[in-house]
Structure 1
Amino acid sequence: MHAGTSEFFEDINDALREAVRALGGVKQVGAWLWPEIAPDTAGNRLRDCLNPERREKLSPEQVLFILRRAREVGYHAAMEYLAASCGYAKPAPLAPEDKLADLQRQFIASVESLERIQRQIQSMQGGHAMPPQAMRRVA
């Protein structure tokens, strides 16, 4: 068992099984992961992937998908287990407005960087602005 999270899990599969349960069960999540197959078959495949005795395993991208969807419904114990089992502090989900603010900061920094590059180009050309058509050819 792993202490330090809001729940106790034997292993990562146990943690993911609980996340899947929070998302509506293996049939629901299996259909999201493998929409090309029947929901019952997808559910059985997911059940096999979460069984340590079986050969089938989830890809890293599928694990992330489950963790992200679990976050959307307010279930964080699987992510907490993952962080704790790797020696990290308990993670805190970002509020959507925090994510938006972070993206806005990145955007502003990118624009400022482009403006700085444009000023450097202009100074190297003797202060003349480069026409937009020329900028496209250079890029």
Structure 2
Amino acid sequence: MQIPLFYDTYEDAIRDTVQALGGFKKVGSMLWPAVAADDAGRKLAACLNQDKREKLDLGELRLIRREARKVGVHILAAYEARDSGYADPQPIAPEDEAAQLKREFITAVKALETIQARMGRSALLGDT
């Protein structure tokens, strides 16, 4: 599947993201697991038709974006960034994110230890 560099509409970007994830039935079933696959696929197609009332809600868009990220498809995130005037997003590798979280945790623990030491000194001086 040839992915365009730019999209004219949000719906086009979502539609290509859905196709990259396996199609309307598959993604519709992810969005609405209690609905039969054929019906879920039709419902999703209706949500992407500008002439229909049905629209995806924020949680549904988030699910599509996250599922696309898992398989290395960044169409929707790139469209949203460009449409809002931002540079293309840079996906974070899971191991990079885990390392960053560990660094932030260590920094936070050190900050708490510093505060605790200051509180101890303050208590010794009678400044409670």
CA distance in 2, matches of 1:22, 1:58: 18
In structure 2, the gaps of 5 or more residues are none
Query: Which residue in the other structure is 2:70 paired with?
Result: 72
Separation in 2, partners of 1:45, 1:116: 55
Offset, 1:8: 3.3
The partner residue of 2:23 within 25, 31, 34 is 25
One-letter amino acid matched to 2:39: T
State the match for 1:137 in structure 2: none
Matching residue of 1:126: 124
Taking structure 2 as the reference length, the TM-score comes to 0.85
Match of 1:131 in 2: none
Q: Cα distance, 1:9 vs. partner? A: 1.8
Summarize deviations over 1:54-91 as a string: whole Å, max 9, x none: 11111122112111111111111222121111111122
Q: Deviations over 1:98-123 (max 9, x none)?
A: 21121112211221122122212222
CA displacement at 1:44 relative to structure 2: 1.5
- Of the three residues 5, 8, 17, the one matched with 1:7 is 5
Paired position in structure 2 for 1:132: none
The structural deviation recorded for 1:125 is 2.4
- Partners of 1:15 and 1:78 within 8 A in 2: yes
RMSD of equivalent CA atoms = 1.8
Letter in 2 for 1:76: H
Identity %: 45
Matches for 1:1-139 after TM superposition, within 5 Å:
6-126=4-124
4+ long deviations beyond 4 Å: none
User: In the aligned structure 2, how far is the partner of 1:29 from the partner of 1:73?
Assistant: 13
TM-score (norm 1): 0.79
Aligned residues: 123
CA distance in 1, matches of 2:35, 2:12: 24
